[in-house]
Structure 1
Amino acid sequence: MIKFKELGLSDDILSALKAQRISEPTPIQEESITLIKDGNDVIAEAQTGTGKTLAFLLPMFENMSTDIDTIQGLIVTPTRELAIQITQEAMKLKEAKNLNILSAYGGKDIGSQLKKLKGNIHLIIATPGRLLDHLRRDSINLDHLKTLVLDEADQMLLMGFKNEVEAIIKHIPKKRQTLCFSATMNSQVKKLAYKNMTDPKVVSIEKEEVTLKNIKQVLIETTDRRKQEDLCKILDEENPFMAIIFCRTKRRVDKLEEELYQKGYNCKKLHGDLTQSKRERVMKAFKKTEIQYLIATDVAARGLDVNGVTHVFNYDIPENDKIYIHRIGRTGRVGEQGYAYTFAAPKDKNTLDAIEKEIKMHIPRRTLV
């Protein structure tokens, strides 16, 4: 197994990784770090949870200088949760190189931060809308940017940020390094990437190896009327250490959280209608294992990278195989065993057939008595 030192990382960076007990690079890190450090444009396809954040952060930290008082790195990511998560990862590397890091996303007042740093910012982690606001107000200057990262590019496009991303790119020097990281490489992502990149190197990590190998999948055959009762039976039977329960809509999340809470389960909800401060509090509590069950929508949980999630419950069946793989990929991380339970009513048969066809497996059935 290759070590981080063999990827040409500095002693300071290696010490910061050691402090986090990170000793060996994941496949996406092993294949990307040297390419990025050497200044190449890179298109990387890898599932969330494969270590891709460090795959771009580590070489960016190596290539940025504290002696230059300009914004050298920009990471654009679709959701506030992802921006917060990437910022937390970046802050852990500050002992290696004391770069000034700014996170800019909706629901957070960054005017005071900008004033405090007086333009002496090296790295910005931002959502498209908030970043564009600042660019239009001239409160952020990207004239000297060295590296642009488009993180979760497929979701950025799915959430309708194509125009914002293109508008941001117009504010950035043409001579720059561009990195595009995405869980899937569909035609839209490729079009966006190749349009804005120069001779990119392509890195692709096998999906199944990451998402399905360590996850025991079970399908609970149920009915809409019996579904909640069956969920509770499985929760009581398994008593997961930490679990995410996925619902199709915000309203479904609200209803399920209320009913599980009344039954005495340690649960909290996460979806886009919550205030930013509430979402941050819930995520912090979940990461600290103060909450056993996180009940969430797909968008709210996008990019959710929490160590220790033992179980995923698809209370509502996912719309397609990509969402299914993304959901169950919250568990079974870093070689640990994970469990994924999907609840399917008779009306879900066609969706289930399509998912099984794409993942090339028959999910074992179980009916609760």
Structure 2
Amino acid sequence: MVHETRYFAGGEMSFESLGVSKWLVEALNVMAIHSPSAIQSACIPAILDGRDCIGGAKTGSGKTIAFAAPMLTKWSLDPFGICGLILTPTRELAIQIAEQFAALGANMNVRTAVIVGGVDMVNQTLELQRRPHFVIATPGRLADHIKSSGPEAMNGLKRVQYLVLDEADRLLSSSFAEDLEECINILPPPEKRQTLLFTATITDAVRSLQDAPVKPGKKRPFMHEVVTDDAVAIPASLSQSFLLVPSYVKEAYLFSILTHEDNKNKSAIVFVNRTKTAELLRRVLQSLEVRATSLHSQMPQSERINALGRFRAEAARVLVATDVAGRGLDIPVVEMVINFDIPADADDYVHRVGRTARAGRAGESISLVTERDVSRIENIEKRVGSKMDKYEKVTDTQVIETSLKKISTAKREAGMDMDKENFGERKRIQKEKKASFVSKRSQRKHM
């Protein structure tokens, strides 16, 4: 099988020459976007030609416009009903994509509906009933609507022309499988819509879709992967280091790094693997007068939007986040990324450190490595093709003398407060409800 994978280095193309509508070219110019990027140059003509498309390029390369521009161009020829459904793994990405559609289509009164968790479902149902032009959703919340909202809200999805899977490698993982199937089943069959997959990481699962059987009347999906000189897109301006620490005092080392003379004014994202850790660290750091906020799935949607806004506006200089902030989010200036927890997947490390050293700026990543993380670090170094340096600015003696006691007290108090507030209880209840629903549906299928 010959793969139609093309590699572009960019060029002197214009959006108009790619086939983008004149009104949209003008909107892009207003946004100071004058020339298409490599992923846009490759994918826009293929999508306008009616092809299904698989596009791979690193974060910040313009993937959203690569699918938004041709969709909006086609929509403007017949602006009726729901034209496209864009599915994405996180609420923040959904909101960001909706903002881009709104900005691009401002002069054409483009209507979008954002269907994500943490927002009243009744209001979302009313939004869907008003037939927005584009629906941007997380699979879990849209699946909830499909199961519970009436046909009046859902019928519009049965005629969509485009399905977009943004961050497709994550959406095609097992954790989204059930909800994704629920969403796709309500759409027109594949031969009556275009399917567009975009991701920063074209995995084997994504790549194999190009070899799937082709329905009659359909062409094989067009696939384009932007290849850079470094295979995993680690910026040359990024310094990577590690610090070996005992697992039970990681918080003290983190505090020492953040408050070091060289770092005390730097904007930083601290990545963790669990929501509880993110909430604990936010409380600990705030109690010690570090301007910190957090971003994780247990926060109400309004708080998540507010946290991102505070960090972007530099009202908070430290954002403690789970991997909901690891991909795609437009956070312009981050000087330092700290991996408080080491991710199990080396690709997640690449996405995390990609939050800094953007657009040629210098950036720094520091990984706190415990006795249990050595194999993960080895996998990461193999994946990125380079060794991390040892971080020398913080020593064990410094941590013991300046941070250990105050951190221990702050951590104990934060933990007690979280216990009093039953932090995590809502998530446990939601899990139980979902398990109960799946069990009942399974029983009905076998009756």
Given the two structures, how large is their TM-score scaled by the length of structure 1?
0.90
Question: In the alignment, does 2:95 pair up with 1:77?
Answer: no
Q: Which amino acid aligns with 1:79?
A: T
Give 1:212 shift. Answer: 2.9
Question: In the alignment, does 2:339 pair up with 1:322?
Answer: no
Counterpart-to-counterpart distance in 2, 1:58 and 1:22 = 12
Which digits, 9 at most, give the CA deviation of each residue in 1:236-283, with x for residues without a partner? 322354321011222222222222112211101111111222112212
CA spacing shift, 1:107–1:231, aligned 2, 3 Å: closer
Q: Secondary structure at the match of 1:265?
A: coil
Q: Equivalent residue for 1:307?
A: 332
Match of 1:38 among 49, 58, 64: 49
Q: Equivalent residue for 1:264?
A: 289
Q: Equivalent residue for 1:143?
A: 158
Counterpart-to-counterpart distance in 1, 2:72 and 2:124 = 21
Q: Equivalent residue for 1:130?
A: 141
Q: Stretches of 4+ moved more than 4 A in 1?
A: 190-198
Counterpart-to-counterpart distance in 2, 1:13 and 1:196 = 35
Question: In the alignment, does 2:309 pair up with 1:284?
Answer: yes
Counterpart-to-counterpart distance in 2, 1:161 and 1:192 = 17
Match of 1:231 among 254, 263, 266: 254
Contact conserved, 2:337 with 2:356, CA < 8 A, in 1?
A: yes
CA spacing shift, 1:214–1:15, aligned 2, 3 Å: farther
Larger RCO, structures 1/2 (Cα 8 Å, 6+ apart): 1
Counterpart-to-counterpart distance in 2, 1:280 and 1:339 = 26
Contact conserved, 2:64 with 2:97, CA < 8 A, in 1?
A: yes
CA spacing shift, 1:324–1:260, aligned 2, 3 Å: same
Contact conserved, 1:315 with 1:342, CA < 8 A, in 2?
A: yes
Q: Equivalent residue for 1:93?
A: 104
After superposition, where does 1:285-364 map in structure 2 within 5 Å? 285-299=310-324, 301-364=326-389
Q: Equivalent residue for 2:27?
A: 16
Match of 1:206 among 209, 227, 249: 227
My pick for the range that moved more, 224-233 or 18-27, is: 224-233
Contact conserved, 2:92 with 2:324, CA < 8 A, in 1?
A: no
Question: In the alignment, does 2:7 pair up with 1:7?
Answer: no
CA spacing shift, 1:24–1:290, aligned 2, 3 Å: farther
Counterpart-to-counterpart distance in 1, 2:333 and 2:174 = 28
Q: Which amino acid aligns with 1:356?
A: E
My pick for the range that moved more, 16-25 or 80-89, is: 16-25
Contact conserved, 1:253 with 1:295, CA < 8 A, in 2?
A: yes
Which digits, 9 at most, give the CA deviation of each residue in 1:187-230, with x for residues without a partner? 43345676597410111123646333332222233333553343
CA spacing shift, 1:354–1:143, aligned 2, 3 Å: closer
Q: How many residues end up aligned between the 2 structures?
A: 369
Contact conserved, 2:326 with 2:348, CA < 8 A, in 1?
A: no
Contact conserved, 1:219 with 1:341, CA < 8 A, in 2?
A: yes
Counterpart-to-counterpart distance in 2, 1:283 and 1:240 = 18
Q: Equivalent residue for 1:152?
A: 167
- Larger fraction in helix: 2
Q: Secondary structure at the match of 2:323?
A: coil
Counterpart-to-counterpart distance in 1, 2:140 and 2:368 = 36
Q: Secondary structure at the match of 2:55?
A: strand
Larger Rg: 2
Counterpart-to-counterpart distance in 1, 2:212 and 2:313 = 41
My pick for the range that moved more, 67-76 or 164-173, is: 164-173
Counterpart-to-counterpart distance in 2, 1:168 and 1:117 = 14
Q: Alignment RMSD, CA only? A: 2.5
CA spacing shift, 1:167–1:193, aligned 2, 3 Å: farther
Match of 1:181 among 193, 198, 212: 198
Counterpart-to-counterpart distance in 2, 1:192 and 1:156 = 14
CA spacing shift, 1:265–1:115, aligned 2, 3 Å: same
CA spacing shift, 1:159–1:277, aligned 2, 3 Å: farther
Contact conserved, 1:106 with 1:130, CA < 8 A, in 2?
A: yes
Give 1:97 shift. Answer: 2.8
Q: Equivalent residue for 2:273?
A: 248
Give 1:96 shift. Answer: 4.4
Give 1:13 shift. Answer: 1.7
CA spacing shift, 1:28–1:213, aligned 2, 3 Å: farther
Q: Which amino acid aligns with 1:205?
A: V
CA spacing shift, 1:323–1:32, aligned 2, 3 Å: same
Give 1:100 shift. Answer: 1.5
Given the two structures, how large is their TM-score scaled by the length of structure 2?
0.75
- Quote the sequence identity (%): 35
CA spacing shift, 1:321–1:107, aligned 2, 3 Å: same
Gap regions ≥5 residues in structure 2: 1-10, 396-447
Q: Secondary structure at the match of 2:76?
A: coil
